[in-house]
Structure 1
């Protein structure tokens, strides 16, 4: 089940960041452009949307014009070939003009009437010129140790430092800072003389958000917020539930401190969306955390009551079934003796696989032969597999077991139970097959993984258990699928 927590706030927030002025007028002329429809497109985090269109004449002239001012941010002028882009910054100056040549959009660019766009292209022209010089030297096989190369590097650094200092406070500088990597000081050395890589990583991570302005609503209309969130949460954070929750709260608190509702909403939405259907075992609790802390408390503004209802219901189902929780027990009809019940908690094994399925489900039928192979291979290693049919007739169930020769597994029919069970709610079986892996205490160590992932997961998990036991550390249950 996909809750589809989408950009519901996009339509109501897209107009934020508007300054008090009378509309916009952007005149453009592109040399070598012989007519056609041009698009003015705005970023909204990772997405880009058409905002306005204009028809270019035979001389490549066109005008974007509107009665209402544009939200500040990064925009792209998309030329008729739909491949060539000319980037413009929208700030308070929304009446300006530019010219460029399709043969060199950056080098030929000239801006009139917008200070930030002038700065933006002055910077790019200088850097592009130095890069062209560097490439000419490289073509001549000049080594990087050559004085000419070092001089170029020094010129670029000096220009950058001066530019950033002299134009501090401009939107252009703010964008360059937001997109830049943290500058690393010399790292300390380990006793063996090697660089302390852990120190480098921690410094980088601790300073990752230093130059990002959460208080500037225009940042939501750039690609940088999305890019930084993705890198910080996915690449710089250990993918275990506790670590992720700590870091996402850190980021959301930064957004809250910035007091821009669009930025706050996007940060919360992005993180929640990553873990709504978690791709990493043991991280489903992040969705529960985000839902309880931000959605259900009203910190995340949601105008659609059905969205809140869906989130609340999903949390109610998911929370008791998270990794490290004890899987609820149930009595189900035994294949070997229909007069008795098999209980999940009655199986004695170091590891227990629970396979909820439907005898008529295509994916379940594809998985059955693999399940048999795994049982034959892992049974001697203390692994027991229990299948529970949660759909179809008793006859369908028995035919399924015989057809795939699963008699050596613990096969059960779940529609005759000692208590009323709604599998979709009680065991989160919104699709079949649904698989859980339990330890000897019936605690969940993995959930909703594929049959093909069972053996690799158990191999990695057992190795981790052994290593952490040897080191005297608590076991982590998160693992990439």
Structure 2
């Protein structure tokens, strides 16, 4: 079960919550445009969705209008070439006009009747002008360039500070603040005189959300909530379960305090969705945490009972199989002695790789030679490999073992087991091959690795263990 389909629920919710007003009318005239369909498209996180269409005449004039108001946020006017975009802000002022020029969309756009759009383009045009000046200076390469660069930088900062102060309370200023990185004061120096980079990172992270308004529902109709969640969770948080759970709860608490149900829902959905099938080994527990704390308690506003049931069932499967849990034992028919069973917990090796597969599966056949190579190299290092065929006939299983010369591995036939087993539910095998890596106590240290990832994973894991066991300098003194 993937949670991406829940996006539809949130989009519908936003549209149905729009506050009643007199509708909208946006008139445009674009020089260089001579007919064709133009689209008015709204942002929802990082996606844009067509909301209205208008036919431009031979002089580039067109009108978007409707009887119901638009949901407020960032919109794009998409020109007939489907490449040129003109950004507009939709706030309470939904009756305005603009003119533009295809040769310079930002520099030659003029808006009338919408203060937010007027100052939005005032800001962009100033920044574009000073950027052009910067590029001209850069090309000149004259001795006084550095001072002129500094003067230009000071000019931009003065304009920015004044602009933000004079237009405080507008949606435009709120957007600029939300999208900007936090300003970092001078960092303290360490005893050796070097800048404390850890202090810089910690300050940046602790102030990352300072200027994002979780109480403003319009922020979901911009790219910024998604972008900031993505950066905070993926880039600024250590990708281990404990750290991720802590930061997930921190961000969700901000959303909850903002009291906007759609922002709460998107924040919870985004984090949960990242870790349902995670790319980082050992982070499945984040999904379980989010599901149990938010979905199954009703904090996540999902009205679809089938979705909640799917989440509940997924948690039931995953929870016993998370990294650091002891894998459930299983006895299956032995290749070497068909009259006895081999058990997952039967190996005394330092590490054990369990390879669930189907003898007729294409990916399994591609993986088999790599698995043999891995086994032959790591067997002397205390690694055992146990293969469990979970589909096919006994004849197909034995043929597979011989074909790929796997006789030195612990090969088993899982269609005959010591207990009733449903591999999809009991071992989360919804595709083959599925690989687990266990330590000597049969604790799961990795799951769902590709066979080609086994060697690098074990090398890194063993190095990390060695570092953890190594006594510190202080303890040796």
Same-fold call, TM cutoff 0.5: yes
> Residue 141 of structure 1: CA displacement?
1.5
What's 2:475 paired with? Answer: none
What's 2:465 paired with? Answer: 465
CA contact (8 A) 1:17 1:72 kept: no
Counterpart secondary structure, 2:336: coil
**For this pair of structures, how many residues does the alignment match?**
472
Distance 1:17 1:113, change over 3 A: farther
Point out which structure has higher relative CO (alpha carbons under 8 A, 6+ apart).
1
Q: Deviations over 1:258-283 (max 9, x none)?
A: 01111111111111111111110000
What's 1:200 paired with? Answer: 200
CA contact (8 A) 2:23 2:94 kept: yes
Report the Cα distance in structure 2 between the residues aligned to 1:471 and 1:298, rounded to whole angstroms. Answer: 47
What's 2:332 paired with? Answer: 332
> Residue 8 of structure 1: CA displacement?
3.4
> Residue 300 of structure 1: CA displacement?
0.9
Distance 1:353 1:150, change over 3 A: same
| Pairing of 1:300-319 with structure 2 (within 5 A) | 300-319=300-319
Matched, 1:90 2:59: no
Counterpart secondary structure, 1:416: strand
Q: Deviations over 1:216-251 (max 9, x none)?
A: 000000001110000000000000001001001111
Report the Cα distance in structure 2 between the residues aligned to 1:367 and 1:324, rounded to whole angstroms. Answer: 26
| Pairing of 1:181-220 with structure 2 (within 5 A) | 181-220=181-220
Counterpart secondary structure, 2:181: coil
Report the Cα distance in structure 2 between the residues aligned to 1:418 and 1:78, rounded to whole angstroms. Answer: 63
Distance 1:232 1:3, change over 3 A: closer
What's 1:155 paired with? Answer: 155
Matched, 1:129 2:140: no
Distance 1:144 1:180, change over 3 A: farther
| Pairing of 1:314-463 with structure 2 (within 5 A) | 314-463=314-463
What's 2:276 paired with? Answer: 276
**Any stretches of 5+ residues in structure 2 without a counterpart?**
473-477
Report the Cα distance in structure 1 between the residues aligned to 2:134 and 2:3, rounded to whole angstroms. Answer: 51
Distance 1:144 1:278, change over 3 A: farther
CA contact (8 A) 1:44 1:220 kept: yes
Report the Cα distance in structure 1 between the residues aligned to 2:291 and 2:277, rounded to whole angstroms. Answer: 13
Counterpart secondary structure, 1:14: helix
Counterpart secondary structure, 1:276: coil
Report the Cα distance in structure 2 between the residues aligned to 1:271 and 1:413, rounded to whole angstroms. Answer: 38
> Residue 134 of structure 1: CA displacement?
1.1
Counterpart secondary structure, 1:43: strand
CA contact (8 A) 1:332 1:414 kept: yes
Report the Cα distance in structure 2 between the residues aligned to 1:110 and 1:166, rounded to whole angstroms. Answer: 20
> Residue 142 of structure 1: CA displacement?
4.0
> Residue 303 of structure 1: CA displacement?
1.8
Counterpart secondary structure, 2:8: coil
Report the Cα distance in structure 2 between the residues aligned to 1:154 and 1:119, rounded to whole angstroms. Answer: 21
| Pairing of 1:218-297 with structure 2 (within 5 A) | 218-297=218-297
Report the Cα distance in structure 2 between the residues aligned to 1:309 and 1:167, rounded to whole angstroms. Answer: 48
What's 2:166 paired with? Answer: 166
Distance 1:4 1:117, change over 3 A: closer
Segment of structure 1 superposing worse, 135-144 or 218-227: 135-144
> Residue 21 of structure 1: CA displacement?
1.9
CA contact (8 A) 2:29 2:62 kept: yes
Counterpart secondary structure, 2:315: helix
Q: Deviations over 1:69-118 (max 9, x none)?
A: 00100001111111111110000100000011111111111111001001
Matched, 1:37 2:37: yes
> Residue 391 of structure 1: CA displacement?
1.0
Counterpart secondary structure, 2:470: helix
CA contact (8 A) 2:77 2:85 kept: yes
Q: Deviations over 1:128-161 (max 9, x none)?
A: 1111111111110146863222111111000000
Report the Cα distance in structure 2 between the residues aligned to 1:237 and 1:427, rounded to whole angstroms. Answer: 29
Distance 1:99 1:3, change over 3 A: closer
Report the Cα distance in structure 2 between the residues aligned to 1:3 and 1:255, rounded to whole angstroms. Answer: 19
CA contact (8 A) 2:10 2:266 kept: no
User: TM-score, with normalisation over the residues of structure 1?
Assistant: 0.96
User: TM-score, with normalisation over the residues of structure 2?
Assistant: 0.97
Report the Cα distance in structure 2 between the residues aligned to 1:426 and 1:145, rounded to whole angstroms. Answer: 68
Distance 1:20 1:314, change over 3 A: same
Report the Cα distance in structure 2 between the residues aligned to 1:424 and 1:179, rounded to whole angstroms. Answer: 43
CA contact (8 A) 1:5 1:269 kept: no
Segment of structure 1 superposing worse, 250-259 or 100-109: 100-109
Q: Deviations over 1:287-310 (max 9, x none)?
A: 111111111111111122111111
CA contact (8 A) 1:3 1:310 kept: no
